[in-house]
Chains A and B, each alone.
Chain A
Amino acid sequence: MPAFIVHLIHTLFPKTVLFPDILLIDLGLVVGGIGLFIFMTKTHRWGWLWREWLTTVDHKRIAVLYLIAAIVMLFRGGIDAEMIRAQLALPGTHFMPAIQYDEVFTTHGTIMIFFMGMPFIFALFNAVVPLMIGARDVAFPRINAMSYWLFACGAILFNISFIIGGSPDAGWTAYPPYTGLAFNPGPGENYYFLALIIAGIGTTMTGINFLVTTVRMRAPGMTLMRMPLFIWSAMVTSALVLFAFPPLTVALAMSLFDRLFGSSFFTLGHGGMPMMYVNLFWLFGHPEVYILVIPLFGVFSEVVATFSKKQLFGYPIMVASILAIMFLSYGTWVHHFFTMGAGPGVNVFFGLSTMLIAIPTGVKIFNWIFTMWGGRIQFTVAMLYQLAFIPTFVIGGATGVMLAAVPADYQFHNSYFVIAHFHNVIIGGTLFGLLSGLYYWWPKMFGSKLNEKQGRVAFWLFFIGFWVTFSPQYLLGLKGMTRRLYTYPAGLGWHELNVISTVGALIMGAGFVALVFNIVWTLVYGERDLTGDPWDGRTLEWSLPSPVPEYNFARVPVVHARDAWWDMKQKGQSLAQLSPEDVHDIEMPRNTPVPFLLGVAFFVVGFALTFKWWPIAGIGLAGVFAIIIFSGFDYEDHHHLKAEVVRKTEASLGRLQG
């Protein structure tokens, strides 16, 4: 065997990726991959895959792609979580080697935030935002697809690290000097930085896209103060993405340059300043937690109004508080590193600004409760998540205010108290919100309701599992257990609480299984929803048939009130009864391979840079530029859907008069 092949094998498959469990997964992936390939070829589905999914620019299909990715990543991140809990269940365990434990908690955090939470949110945005504002697509359909494929490329790059080359192992925050070349020579951290930079570019483009969509693409009559709250939340989230991701990109790029090109930003010698990374990272990181939760505030605002059969209480105040949260979230980042010792002035400023955020958030909680007050509440699964969210998020928020008190934070810092706090807000706020939105909008996306009975089982498993997992962790934190701890001796009083926590994690795992069963069962046996409006909804997406035709609205609606569809129903109007002369030719974006190819090119760049294969990285980069230039010269990016075709589709849905 030539020497370079031996070298290649040693580079790609070092000892850290040759644990027996990983080899088993390798085998499973190879067998599964071959099986999938044979299946696709036998059933002649490659063309279908290419035409319908890989080259699509339709926001509804991109939403499905995001959703699939998010659920797969929820599985991966969940497995990581179960592994962490298995390792920590008993004192002195060696369930897995310490190095693998480091990798697992790193990938758990990174995947759950960047590759589960954000794509799940973008799935909901893509599925619903254009429908809610009466638009035919997002502002930039092609860029929307590019965002997806860049995200997918980043996600794949990040996920293959555990089978090829080794995973990152410096925590999801990737602080230097842990990530410095001197202490971490493997390719793992390169994977981390490149994957997040590439996915981050995609996310920034999504932010631009949805900001412009919500600002410029609203149907006639939908003024700012008539927008559904979910649209407000999409707008504010997009603005947060715009303002938060640049510092992250810069911080990651600098760390990467330190590793690849010998610069001295965050090194220990040459005057480098590791804490500047921390500063830049949290400049992104704090707005990021609001990026993760504000969309779900929007979801809850829609869900609570629909299932209480009432207009949302205090709409203007809800809008004001969401904007206040947006502003305040930029002035709080230092509370993630109070213990750095920036000085009393700095810490007091950021402690107070952090506490201030509790006020608009509290306002929102009260408004949701007042919306339910006196309403006819329907206990659907979406509403159950809403009801579970309120107490969970209040407790998570209250412990957050505890952490904002600087002297107390010096005690809490890096303990399990912090772990419990942020899981409390991220699971209680983000995950419950995402699942609420999933159950609420599933009929619109796929044309059938998720089975409610099974959904309830999944809900209770998640809800109970969550509390069993994380309430012991508050106590563990107070008893001095620190985060990212590999193992601990018996006799510290941590033993029982850790066992309880692990049991809770298993219950949540069962919840995930129930959720997937629910989804698969519904896809196979689910009852078709023919009304298009199964929940008696209030906003415009429910005025359309499910699933929604390619062009969304045959005739663009005119909005006269907040909760536009409810208003139309009250007045006896309907978008369903369309006269043939109302239908005109519709300009639609044309499918294009550009976004997918761009993702592939970026993947080549990312993978080659991870292993410092400069020529291949150069080829990939040339590919990126070639694709961008080609896209610039491509003026045939739309086509006209003939009125006749639209009429035929609408007639087949029974929505055309005469």
Chain B
Amino acid sequence: MAHSETELTISEAYERDNDRALKFLKPRFHEEKFPMTQILGYIGSLILTFAAYFLVINRVLPSIALLAVILTLAVMQGALQLGVFMHVREGRGLAWQLIPLYLVFLIALGMVGMSVWIMLFKSGVS
């Protein structure tokens, strides 16, 4: 059984999946003759990193705004790594990993943000 399945193409695997109705999980593969995407991704990641570094070293903005900007750059960098290097939309049948990934980013953000909010102790009564 496993042997006959080794020759599946991407779309055959998708057509066989029980849940192909979930169109947003349809996998996308990206193949190139020359690893141009990887090289551009690497250059992009370096640019994002050094941009954040110089923004902080030269203190171009007030503290809170600066933190917001460099965190945005970090999120962009994370998305770049996921998209370019981690092939996040690939999968056999469906790219199931997208659902837990969306969820976990939401939860991780909530966890850090809410923990800071909770631990500020802005209470008048305690």
- Tell whether, in the assembled complex, residue B18 and residue A343 are in contact, meaning their CB atoms are under 8 Å apart: no
What chain A residues lie within 8 Å of B126 (beta carbons)? 339-341
Give B97 Cβ to nearest chain A Cβ, in Å.
10
Q: Is B122 an interface residue (CB 8 A)?
A: yes
Chain B residue at minimal CB-CB distance from A331: B110
CA distance A344 to B123 in the complex (A): 7
A16 CB to nearest chain B CB (Å): 35
When the two chains form their complex, are residues B119 and A279 in contact, meaning their CB atoms are under 8 A apart? yes
- A342, B18: Cβ atoms closer than 8 Å: no
Give the chain B neighbours of A247 by CB distance below 8 A: 111
Please tell me if the beta carbons of B103 and A239 are within 8 angstroms of each other in the complex.
yes
B18 and A221 contact, CB distance less than 8 A:
yes
- Contact A342-B111, Cβ < 8 Å, known A218-B18, A224-B19, A239-B103: no
**Nearest opposing residue in chain A for B92, CB measure:** A216
- Contact, CB under 8 Å: A330 / B1: no
Binary B-proximity of A322-354 (CB < 8 A = 1, otherwise 0) = 000000001100100001111111100000000
Q: Which residues of A contact B19 (CB under 8 A)?
A: 223-224
**A40 sits at the interface (CB 8 A):** no
With contacts A279-B115, A584-B1 known, is A343 near B121, CB below 8 A? Answer: yes
Q: Kindly provide the distance from the CB of B119 to the nearest chain A CB, expressed in whole angstroms.
A: 6
Is B75 interfacial (CB 8 A cutoff)?
no
Q: Bound state CA distance, A218 and B2, in angstroms?
A: 16
CA distance A10 to B124 in the complex (A): 49
Chain B neighbourhood of A576, CB < 8 A: none
Shortest Cβ distance from residue A171 to the other chain B in the assembled complex, whole angstroms: 21
Min CB gap B88→A, angstroms = 16
Q: Please determine whether A242 and B122 come into contact, CB atoms closer than 8 angstroms.
A: no
Asked if residues B119 and A283 are in contact (CB atoms below 8 Å), the reply is no
Interface residues of A, dominant DSSP: helix
Tell me, yes or no, whether B71 is within 8 Å of chain A by CB.
no
* B22 nearest CB neighbor, chain A only: A224
Residue A111 interfacial (CB < 8 Å): no
Q: What residues of B have a CB within 8 angstroms of the CB of A340 in the complex? A: 121, 126
Residues in B85-126 with C-beta less than 8 Å from chain A? 93, 96, 100, 103-104, 107, 110-111, 115, 117-126
* Given A340-B126, A344-B123, A279:B103 Cβ within 8 A: no
In chain B, what residue has the closest Cβ to A559? B18
Q: Are B107's CB and A346's CB within 8 A? A: no
Q: How far is the CB of A100 from chain B (nearest CB, A)?
A: 33
A407-421 contact mask (Cβ, 8 Å, vs B): 1 or 0:
000000000000000
Interface of B (DSSP majority class): loop
Within B1-60, which residues are at the interface with A (CB < 8 Å)? 1-2, 16, 18-19, 21-22
Whether the Cβ atoms of A330 and B107 lie closer than 8 Å is yes
Is there contact, CB below 8 Å, between B100 and A239? yes
Contacts of B110 in A (CB 8 A): 330-331
- Check A216/B125 contact, CB under 8 A, given A243-B103, A346-B118: no
Does chain B have a CB within 8 A of A587?
Answer: yes
Contact of B96 among A215, A221, A280 (CB under 8 A): A215
In the complex, A216→B96 CA distance in Å?
9
Chain B positions within 8 Å of A622 at CB level: none
Q: How far apart sit A32 and B125, CA to CA, in the bound complex (Å)?
A: 56
A538 to chain B, nearest CB (A): 19
Instruction: Assess whether A319 is interfacial by the CB under 8 Å rule.
Output: no
Picked from A220, A334, A587, the residue with its CB within 8 Å of the CB of B18 is A220
- Say if the beta carbon of A275 comes within 8 Å of chain B: yes
Q: In the complex, what distance in Å separates the CA atom of A295 from the CA atom of B27?
A: 31
Beta-carbon contact of A342 and B21 below 8 Å:
no
Give complex CA distance A339, B123 in Å. Answer: 10
In the bound complex, residues from chain B placing their C-beta under 8 Å from that of A330 are 107, 110
How distant is A240 from chain B, measured CB to nearest CB, in Å?
11
Whether B118 pairs with A342 at a CB distance below 8 angstroms is yes
Q: B48 to chain A: closest CB distance in Å?
A: 27
List chain B residues, Cβ under 8 A from A345.
117, 122
- Hey, which chain B residues are within 8 Å of A342, CB to CB? 117-123
Give bound CA distance, A388 to B101, whole Å: 39
Cβ–Cβ contact A587 & B118, under 8 A: no
Q: How many Å lie between the Cα of A243 and that of B18 in the bound state?
A: 26
Residue of B whose beta carbon sits closest to that of A282: B118
- Distance to closest chain A CB from B98 (angstroms): 12
B111 touches A341 (CB 8 A): no
Contacts of B100 in A (CB 8 A): 211, 239, 242
Instruction: Give chain A interface residues in 200-216, CB to chain B under 8 Å.
Output: 211, 215-216
Interface bits A215-229 vs B (CB < 8 Å: 1, else 0): 110101111100000
Minimum CB–CB distance from A488 to chain B (whole Å) comes to 27
Q: Which residues of A contact B93 (CB under 8 A)?
A: 216
- Say how far B96's CB is from chain A's closest CB, in angstroms: 5
Partner of B117 from the list A211, A222, A276, A346 (CB cut-off 8 Å) is A346
For residue A632, give the distance in angstroms from its CB to the closest CB of chain B. Answer: 21
Other-chain contact of B118, A215, A239, A243, A279 (Cβ < 8 Å):
A279
Is residue A273 within 8 Å, beta carbon to beta carbon, of the partner chain? yes
In the complex, what's the smallest C-beta–C-beta distance from B56 to chain A, in angstroms?
Answer: 25
State A345–B125 Cα separation when bound (angstroms). 13
For chain A residues 262-310, which have a beta carbon within 8 Å of chain B? 273, 275-276, 279-280, 283
What are the 6 tightest A-B residue pairs by CB atom distance, in nearest-first order? A341-B126, A343-B122, A341-B123, A343-B123, A342-B118, A223-B18
- In the assembled complex, 20 residue pairs joining A and B whose CB atoms fall closer than 8 Å, in A order, are A211-B100, A220-B16, A222-B18, A223-B18, A224-B19, A224-B22, A243-B103, A273-B119, A276-B119, A283-B115, A331-B110, A340-B121, A340-B126, A341-B123, A341-B125, A343-B120, A343-B124, A344-B124, A346-B118, A587-B1
Please list the residues of chain B having a beta carbon within 8 angstroms of any beta carbon in chain A: 1-2, 16, 18-19, 21-22, 93, 96, 100, 103-104, 107, 110-111, 115, 117-126
Given contacts A276-B115, A283-B111, A343-B121, 5 further A-B pairs with CB under 8 A are: A222-B18, A279-B119, A341-B125, A342-B118, A344-B123
